[in-house]
Structure 1
């Protein structure tokens, strides 16, 4: 298997900017609004001082003492509860994505994933199958689903949280798309059923969390279940015309682990790429934000 090792950072954002990083925080602009959020990998010093951060930010996320994943937003300037950002690339992909500040510090968008939206549009623009079937697992607010749909794909979008799927529908509608198939289910249960049904997909997108729960409390632990999930995905992926994108955010995983997982489960892997996703702040500091593995026929 020929493979290319890459470090990828988005090149086409206008409505997003990583301003500064450090002190276990990041300062980001989403459209007209600037947010300060925790970032466990930003272990270096900030380039701007604390006063400059506070003067720039519209809101700052403060973690709970006993639960670093939860907290609350402190508004420092007037900021709406919901707003939109736009994304477009040279292939003609255009999306409008809806943002909101949640109690888990997320706002409905992972900007580093733009490199994979570009990969989806580049793959599908000359795809040899009309309306290729694409499955997006752990699909969150659905930017990848919208990107695939905008490029003519027949998209199935799955997430275990109903409210997040509703958010994804808003992103689809705001982007002028329709017809995405929405599934609220446990990802592992769903793909086991799809294998039994003999269904096939031309594209599979996986963005699994380190830990998670299905709608009925099903437990997801990345290290324990990702190998089985990829085995099942290998049965679902069309043998002739296909692509697959795998993202993982676990700090204990490297892209070599992702490569080994894919190699051991897929018989034929062509045009393989793997490595790190990262963002660059104004001061040229690179912030790593996960690993990826992707391939296409």
Structure 2
């Protein structure tokens, strides 16, 4: 039946270079390749499974917040690196990411998004089009862009921050990929222009922040603009075969909101999935029951 969806809890299953070791008391202990970090995590509102001493022994750096938006990393040893690389495998291709300790507590990757990367790869592999066109909006350091390119797609990567797009390009080079189209622009403006041009895409990934600014000071506020953005991007989908992913990290913006948005602006949608992306601790002392919800998503595809 058109419009039917399944509300799901979804977690990535193909990580080797990432592990959520433990979480609790407002923090998470994570391994990124050879480096283990402690970062604040408000959603981890349960007791830690490991002792404080074990957390201390395992970590290389801890993020200490100095304001609501920024902070600093405190390294346990001066010899611990501030940037390094990890790998994510897509079929025969190793996607490589340069990670770094930023003042915003981020490191250059959102590991739970690998669940959406798996969906992208599976969708592209099933498509009849020889070179599917994929549009990645609010694309950050390019995880989804790299996965789509590794699967043979013609990829357009749009983000408003030049330094972030440069970072994504570094990841492309590290991964031995090429020919992603890099666009430093306000995502909303770009979509409106593509609509006027009559361009189309076989895949669209939309991962907007709660708030943001374009390169010319354009303001983005998800609650105010997401309706029009969805309305616009839906018109860019190839009518024969396509996939679409909407992901949000915004507090108070649930998977139910996403389902309503998609059904309102694309009432003929089929194969709609909505739910939460989560990470699950896999340390040997973890119960495995602590599902750390990281974001909400909605996605669907039409494959010939």
Normalised by the length of structure 2, the TM-score is: 0.94
1:93–1:147 CA contact under 8 A, matched in 2? no
Who is 2:98 aligned against? Answer: 98
Who is 1:260 aligned against? Answer: 260
1:293 and 2:298 are equivalent in the alignment: yes
Distance of 1:81 and 1:125 partners within structure 2: 36
Which of 23, 26, 39 matches 1:24? Answer: 26
Q: Deviation string for 1:225-269 (max 9, x for gaps)?
A: 111100000111111111101101112011111000001111421
Distance of 1:52 and 1:104 partners within structure 2: 25
Shift of 1:68: 2.1
Query: What stretches of structure 1 of length at least 5 have no aligned partner?
Result: none
Who is 1:82 aligned against? Answer: 83
Distance of 1:176 and 1:222 partners within structure 2: 34
Distance of 1:125 and 1:54 partners within structure 2: 43
Alignment of 1:69-218 (within 5 A): 69-77=69-77, 78-89=79-90, 91-92=91-92, 94-218=94-218
Q: Partner of 2:165: helix, strand, or coil?
A: helix
1:273–1:293 CA contact under 8 A, matched in 2? yes
Who is 1:2 aligned against? Answer: 4
Shift of 1:129: 0.7
Who is 1:60 aligned against? Answer: 62
Q: Partner of 2:277: helix, strand, or coil?
A: strand
Who is 1:50 aligned against? Answer: 52
Q: Show structure 1 runs of 4+ deviating over 6 A.
A: none
Q: Partner of 1:102: helix, strand, or coil?
A: coil
Distance of 2:126 and 2:192 partners within structure 1: 30
Distance of 1:34 and 1:80 partners within structure 2: 11
Distance of 2:93 and 2:143 partners within structure 1: 11
Q: Partner of 1:179: helix, strand, or coil?
A: coil
Distance of 1:260 and 1:267 partners within structure 2: 10
Greater relative contact order structure (CA < 8 Å, 6+ sep)? 2
Q: Partner of 1:107: helix, strand, or coil?
A: coil
Q: Partner of 1:236: helix, strand, or coil?
A: coil
Query: What stretches of structure 2 of length at least 5 have no aligned partner?
Result: none
Q: Partner of 1:119: helix, strand, or coil?
A: helix
Distance of 2:93 and 2:46 partners within structure 1: 35
Shift of 1:49: 2.4
